[in-house]
Structure 1
Amino acid sequence: MYRLAALLCLILLTCAAPAAAQTEIHRCIGANGGAVFTDQPCAALQATPVSPGAQPGNATAPLAAPPPILCAASPGELRQSVIDAFASRDANRLAGLMLWNGYGRGAAIADIRALAELMKQPLLDADIPDGSAPAQAASSDAPFASDTPPALPSTGSQLVLHTVGNDGSGGPRELRFDIVRQAGCLWLRNAN
């Protein structure tokens, strides 16, 4: 009987050992806006926890930056996402709000470099002038069709950014981005 009890305890101990050896997985959003899964606390990586209440001692800590919007549902949400990208000086976050279909590799790289230079300048204003609704970039029958050229945006569906010019004069610089709807989200497309 003693041997049976000892064998049963050994089996239970063997089953419990792997569960005790597992570490907690922390879900974070990194500085570049991408998802990070790690065994270290998010704060150790200068990342934002996805659910701040889930981590011990972090329930009252303010978030370093709001989590990025991956699919803007309204022009106001898209505008706020651009403001948040400028606040964190994150060109990748701004690039994630842009519609990139139809770009070649060289043009995309050049535009991302231009966005990185743009993020070095302070944002003075982000405005959506009154106008019509954002244009459709693809038909609703095939929202993810990559061979369908994007429709030209209608007048007034733009986001206008005013930044400090980089020419040394300190004068404002205006950049215009068309707002395009594709796959149920609003995206930016370079209009300059």
Structure 2
Amino acid sequence: MRLQFSLLLLLLLLPVAAASAQGGIHRCLGANGIPVFTDRVCTDVNAAPLLPPPATVAAPPAVTTATPPAVLCAADLAHLKQAVIDAFADRSPNRLAGLMLWNGDGQQAVVADIRVYNQLMAHPLIGVSVTGAADDDAEPDDAPGPSPAGSAGNAPAHGAALLVQTESEDGSGGTGQTRFDVVHHAGCLWLRPGE
């Protein structure tokens, strides 16, 4: 009985040993260009070994001059000015619209303004300057307290405005200028279309 059990065990283990000795399935490329999968060596079936595709290693990120992330809350005039420059560099009217204070504006007015910004960005940016502030790096008074009467928290930051200069639409080489009032609201600086 022991001999029969040993013989049966040997017969069961023989296929496992044979499979591990051969190394599993081989991927080959047949003479006609069709892939062949076999448990034999590729040369035994008149085929060339087909190496598995090399493991892809994530390449280091390419060095690009991508624009910085959009500003969600400009802390001072310098940040707001740079955010406008970045929006023009990215040619993104939506990014410029993200710097606007839209309180009370209806959807149609906002969409119309974004269309105007799209047309504005069709022309190369010449420069962005700050006017009406003590200097270009002036910061608004961020002291908490009541807003001036009637302003609902949307008072211009020290009367500051950003002037965006672009090439003119007529192709004459002249410049066009768009004014945006700078508004202090909820601890951030925002743009409002100039009047």
After TM superposition, list the pairs within 5 Å mapping 1:14-53 onto structure 2. none
Name the structure 2 match of 1:151. Answer: 155
- Out of 184, 187, 192, the position equivalent to 1:184 is 187
Gaps of at least 5 residues in structure 2 are 1-57
Name the structure 2 match of 1:172. Answer: 175
TM-score computed with the length of structure 2 as normaliser:
0.58
Name the structure 2 match of 1:45. Answer: none
Cα distance, 1:142 vs structure 2: 8.5
1:100 and 2:99 correspond = no
- Out of 110, 113, 117, the position equivalent to 1:111 is 113
* Paired amino acid for 1:109: V
Does the 8 A contact of 2:164 with 2:179 survive in 1? yes
Does the 8 A contact of 2:162 with 2:181 survive in 1? yes
Name the structure 2 match of 1:66. Answer: 68
Q: Distance in 1 between matches of 2:89 and 2:103?
A: 26
* 1:88-143 residue CA offsets vs partner (Å, 9 max, x unmatched): 1111111101111121222111101000111101110101135256778xx95699
Radius of gyration: which is bigger? 2
Name the structure 2 match of 1:10. Answer: none
Q: Distance in 2 between matches of 1:134 and 1:179?
A: 11
Q: How many residues align?
A: 133
Q: Distance in 2 between matches of 1:116 and 1:152?
A: 25
SS of aligned partner of 1:70: coil
SS of aligned partner of 1:81: helix
SS of aligned partner of 1:86: helix
Q: Distance in 1 between matches of 2:161 and 2:167?
A: 19
SS of aligned partner of 2:131: coil
* Paired amino acid for 1:123: L
Gaps of at least 5 residues in structure 1 are 1-55
* 1:136-166 residue CA offsets vs partner (Å, 9 max, x unmatched): 8xx95699xxx937335543x0111111111
Q: Distance in 2 between matches of 1:171 and 1:125?
A: 13
CA 1:58–1:92 in 2, change beyond 3 Å: closer, same or farther?
A: farther
The two structures, once aligned, show a CA RMSD in angstroms of 3.0
Does the 8 A contact of 2:154 with 2:184 survive in 1? no
CA 1:142–1:169 in 2, change beyond 3 Å: closer, same or farther?
A: same
Q: Distance in 2 between matches of 1:61 and 1:167?
A: 37
CA 1:178–1:74 in 2, change beyond 3 Å: closer, same or farther?
A: same
1:160 and 2:163 correspond = yes
CA 1:134–1:113 in 2, change beyond 3 Å: closer, same or farther?
A: farther
Name the structure 1 match of 2:26. Answer: none
Does the 8 A contact of 1:91 with 1:112 survive in 2? yes
